[in-house]
Chains A and B, each alone.
Chain A
């Protein structure tokens, strides 16, 4: 892993993010319970606590799910993306407080094991309005637990990236479960229509932003097969279209390639970071290394290998520049293969 270049500014920033998260959580819970007990003196503290943590976790989950698609659109949000892991763990802890308090309040001190009671006390699984909504919350909490517990890079390495990624796609299952948990739970007890509207807006934002982001990806993935020369190179773009130290992302026979322009040279690497599949082409060249925008893993543009002592390697691609036009061969070299960058002739 290559964090050397970000040791100073970046860690300070990271600490500020964590501090903002922490203060944010305290403010949210404090105001919810403080104002709540003033406006509604009849409400019990347990009820306010359960609602403060439940809504807080749910709102945070919306933010987490929105960061991905939004940061595609607004790259200035990338720093939030780096910190999504801490947001995720915070969200899990808030949901845990909510769930634990609910289990104690509604299921403990009776004649059943509290966890079993969550699933069997209300057995009306065949009714919609009476459905045991707490069981859905419990399942969602289990998913969030597995995600929070495996969020560390240790697990990413041990589970392998595809398994890890699939596991973390379960967040959408958890989100759906929680939406139903709210609609079949507290919404069945008659709440203000403001909450209905808020859930509607939140749900629409998440679905909408993912659809838009998906369409944009599709657009990017339009294959460039039209202009192929006799050696099999595919026409990608003009040199002048690639900003200095940045990349143009092209999809060649199903694989995304990041074509970098730096110091008068052109080099092409796989777009997929070995860490968590971050988009290398959305990163920059920093200190001579292609640097992933997500967590800062670095790769040499010449051979796609991370600097010592790191061992990550991505595939490189053969490049030609003819009359200011970049051509790339779609067959990847084995990861770490040296591929001399092409020097662009100055006109």
Chain B
């Protein structure tokens, strides 16, 4: 009896090891959950809310501003929290989410501060601060992810296991990103917009986490690549 029990427990342990050791490798992504820092920068509300933070000193070939997508707690983009602040200077507290060179901030509740002095009320000129440059029409193969989970809040944050969650997040206003892997496994990140540069969230809910081909214009704005195409032209492959 005693030995049968011990044998059983050894079997269970070995089986558990067998199960976990055959998992596939998990990608590197980070969410600094609960570690709040203060960020100061300019809000860009459309089409997806971001904060632009000036890089210190001479930036050389790098863009003058680094860009962080904004989100709030849960499956919502940060739009509600920065409403009406387009082009305004704010300070906010938040936790960082990042993967490769892609960054996002989860804003802490009630931490967005906007100082109504006259200097701050001057509306910012995005086109001169972050000029857009067209890189031409391209056809890309990849998968639509919700940036928050894929950049670090969940791991894995893509493919079938994560599909329902990604749909919830994108419906809630999270910036949708088209993820394109090359042969070496390097990832290209393309922020999805329609042909007029508007948000596409509501029009792509049935296309998320599926193998897709998208043909559209690629535009570079600072360190962000944008893929502009009509969502009805996205093709399942």
Please give the residue numbers on chain A whose beta carbons come within 8 Å of chain B beta carbons, in ascending order: 13, 16, 20, 23-24, 27-29, 31-32, 35-36, 39-40, 42-44, 46-47, 51-52, 55-56, 59, 105-112, 117-118, 121-124, 129-130, 132-134, 184-186, 188-192, 194-195
B156/A39 in contact, CB under 8 A: no
Do A28 and B159 form a contact, CB below 8 Å, given A16-B5, A121-B168?
Answer: no
CA distance A164 to B72 in the complex (A): 49
CB interface residues, B 5-30, toward A, < 8 Å: 5, 8-9, 12-13, 15-29
Top-7 shortest CB links A-B = A109-B74, A110-B75, A188-B160, A106-B165, A42-B26, A189-B159, A31-B16
Can you list 21 pairs linking A and B with CB atoms under 8 Å apart? A32-B16, A35-B17, A36-B20, A36-B23, A39-B23, A42-B25, A42-B28, A42-B155, A46-B154, A47-B154, A47-B156, A51-B23, A106-B165, A107-B165, A110-B75, A110-B168, A111-B172, A121-B168, A188-B161, A192-B22, A194-B22
Do A32 and B154 form a contact, CB below 8 Å, given A20-B8, A123-B206, A186-B161?
Answer: no
Q: Is B3 an interface residue (CB 8 A)?
A: no
Instruction: Note all chain A residues with C-beta closer than 8 A to B172.
Output: 110-111
List 12 extra interface pairs beyond A36-B20, A106-B164, A188-B161, CB under 8 A: A28-B13, A32-B19, A40-B25, A52-B20, A106-B165, A107-B164, A107-B165, A112-B168, A134-B164, A189-B160, A191-B23, A192-B23
CA distance A107 to B18 in the complex (A): 30
CA distance A258 to B165 in the complex (A): 57
Closest to A76 in B: B4
A111/B76 in contact, CB under 8 A: yes
B21/A133 in contact, CB under 8 A: no
Summed over the interface, the residue pairs from A and B with CB atoms below 8 Å come to a total of 130
A189/B9 in contact, CB under 8 A: no
Do A44 and B155 form a contact, CB below 8 Å, given A28-B15, A28-B16, A59-B15?
Answer: yes
* Partner among B9, B20, B23, B163 whose Cβ is within 8 Å of the Cβ of A27: B9
Q: Is B171 an interface residue (CB 8 A)?
A: yes
Name A's interface SS: helix
CA distance A133 to B209 in the complex (A): 14
Q: Is B97 an interface residue (CB 8 A)?
A: no
Instruction: Note all chain B residues with C-beta closer than 8 A to A133.
Output: 160
* Partner among B20, B75, B155 whose Cβ is within 8 Å of the Cβ of A31: B20
Q: Is B210 an interface residue (CB 8 A)?
A: yes
Tally chain B residues at the interface, Cβ within 8 Å.
Answer: 43
B75/A20 in contact, CB under 8 A: no
* Partner among B19, B27, B210 whose Cβ is within 8 Å of the Cβ of A42: B27
CA distance A185 to B163 in the complex (A): 10
Q: Is B1 an interface residue (CB 8 A)?
A: yes
Whole-angstrom distance between the Cβ of A22 and the nearest chain B Cβ: 11
B12/A24 in contact, CB under 8 A: yes
B21/A35 in contact, CB under 8 A: yes
Instruction: Note all chain B residues with C-beta closer than 8 A to A35.
Output: 16-17, 20-21
Whole-angstrom distance between the Cβ of A190 and the nearest chain B Cβ: 7
Instruction: Note all chain B residues with C-beta closer than 8 A to A134.
Output: 164
Instruction: Note all chain B residues with C-beta closer than 8 A to A23.
Output: 9
CA distance A43 to B17 in the complex (A): 16
Instruction: Note all chain B residues with C-beta closer than 8 A to A118.
Output: 164
B163/A130 in contact, CB under 8 A: yes
Whole-angstrom distance between the Cβ of B139 and the nearest chain A Cβ: 22
Instruction: Note all chain A residues with C-beta closer than 8 A to B27.
Output: 42
Closest to A184 in B: B160
Instruction: Note all chain A residues with C-beta closer than 8 A to B163.
Output: 122, 130
